[in-house]
Amino acid sequence: MLVLRLLVVLAAIAIVLCVGAFFLKGDRRYLNLAWRIFRYAMVAVLVFFSLIALERVLVPLV
């Protein structure tokens, strides 16, 4: 859980910095980078939670 929290915090900081750079410079490259970071973070969170759910299903069978 600590790794997930660290991932969420780092992704949030990176997204805020990218959006801030977009507002300062007006370059859409930073906005695209923020969107890409958000998508990868969401995929990582979904994989993490699906593994937890799979563990809850499989552990009673053992």
Q: Provide CB contacts within 8 A for 58, sequence distance 6+.
A: none
Statement: residue 62 has pLDDT above 90: no
What is the token pair recorded at 20? 């801030």
For residue 39, what pLDDT is reported? 97
| Per-residue three-class SS string for 27-53 | CHHHHHHHHHHHHHHHHHHHHHHHHHH
Residues 2, 43: contact at Cβ < 8 Å?
A: no
pLDDT over 80 (residue 44): yes
Cα separation, 46 vs 1, whole angstroms: 13
Per domain, the residue ranges of the chain are 2-61
Percent of the chain with pLDDT over 90: 69
pTM (2 decimals)?
0.81
Side chain identity at residue 35, one-letter code? W
